């Protein structure tokens, strides 16, 4: 009877989790959009462009500035560029939400910890968006107010050029969102989180293999569409690592609190 009551409580609490997550993402979006290209703490276009050139200079010093070459190589494959835009605009949410739902229904205790990891990761990313507004590659040659109109770069805004299922590049979306929230890349951070959360519990080798390809496809997509530099992805992985540390510390703390409370009872 106790086990059945626990299951019923779990089944009835999904709407609370949904409200928590929706509320968190709403607050996150509002804070993120106060920095960068718009908002109360908006940075200058020159700052975002200078940071972009700083990133490119650093990658060149490493001998690993390849984003422009990668995009140029695939520009003639219209279907691939269109598919990459769809992947970039939808899988980021669909796969992450699907991972969360699967964990919630199949592994509820695991869900709590990994939900906290994702939340901490997303919150930490705000620091990067606020302190280091970064113009993505696709805007380097674009016109003001969001582009820098820099000479010498061949990047293309793939969404404007090839389209997708819907447009995240409309004037309305640009006006209410932070166009320079590129560092770190939450696309790669969230994709890696899906692997972090699911890989240990998947039994089939084929499932684990397919899962491992997801962050790799995400990395390719964020580069070929011109939305990120590869180093944004590395920063996203570091952000995920910090989020995991914070989540594990909090889980340990609350676990000890619950244990002490039960002992007192």
pLDDT of residue 264: 62
CA atoms of 103 and 201, how far apart (whole Å): 10
pLDDT of residue 260: 61
> Is 70 exceeded by the pLDDT of residue 155?
yes
Please provide the DSSP assignment of 26-52 as one string: HHHHHHHTTEETSSTEEPPHHHHHHHH
135: its two tokens: 């113009």
Collapsed DSSP state (helix, strand, coil) of residue 147: coil
Q: Give the chain's mean pLDDT.
A: 88
> Is 80 exceeded by the pLDDT of residue 11?
no
CA atoms of 90 and 228, how far apart (whole Å): 16
Question: What is the mean pLDDT of the segment spanning 215-227?
Answer: 98
Tens-place pLDDT, residues 39-70 = 767 788 899 999 999 999 999 999 999 999 99
Taking 3-state DSSP, the helix, strand and coil percentages for the chain, each rounded to the nearest 5, stand at 75, 0, 25
Residue 95 — φ and ψ, nearest 5°? Answer: -70, -40
Residues, the chain: 265
Residue 193 — φ and ψ, nearest 5°? Answer: -60, -40
pLDDT of residue 90: 94
Residue 225 — φ and ψ, nearest 5°? Answer: -80, -10
How confident is residue 2, by pLDDT bands cut at 50, 70 and 90? Answer: very low
Tens-place pLDDT, residues 163-218 = 988 765 555 455 557 899 999 999 999 999 999 999 999 999 999 999 999 999 99
């Amino acid at each position: 009877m106790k086990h059945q009551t626990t299951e019923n409580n779990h089944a009835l609490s999904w709407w609370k989790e949904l409200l928590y997550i929706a509320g968190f993402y709403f607050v996150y979006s509002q804070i993120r959009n106060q920095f960068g290209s718009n908002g109360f703490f908006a940075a200058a276009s020159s700052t975002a462009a200078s940071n972009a050139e700083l990133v490119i200079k650093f990658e060149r010093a490493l001998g690993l500035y390849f984003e422009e070459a990668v995009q140029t190589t695939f520009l003639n494959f219209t279907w691939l560029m269109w598919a990459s835009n769809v992947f970039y605009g939808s899988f980021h949410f669909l796969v992450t939400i699907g991972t969360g739902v699967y964990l919630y229904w199949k592994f509820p205790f695991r869900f709590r910890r990994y939900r906290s990891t994702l939340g901490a990761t997303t919150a930490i990313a705000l620091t990067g968006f606020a302190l280091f507004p970064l113009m993505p590659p696709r805007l380097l040659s674009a016109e003001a107010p969001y582009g820098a109109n820099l000479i010498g770069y061949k990047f293309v805004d793939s969404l404007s050029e090839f389209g997708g299922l819907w447009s995240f590049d409309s004037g309305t979306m640009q006006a209410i969102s932070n166009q320079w929230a590129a560092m770190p890349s939450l696309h790669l951070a969230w994709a890696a989180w899906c692997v972090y959360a699911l890989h240990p519990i998947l039994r089939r080798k084929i499932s684990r293999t397919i899962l491992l390809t997801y962050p790799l496809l995400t990395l390719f997509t964020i580069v070929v569409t011109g939305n990120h530099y590869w180093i944004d992805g590395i920063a996203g992985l570091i952000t995920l690592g910090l989020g995991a540390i914070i989540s594990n510390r909090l889980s340990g703390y609350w676990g000890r609190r619950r244990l002490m409370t039960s002992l007192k009872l």
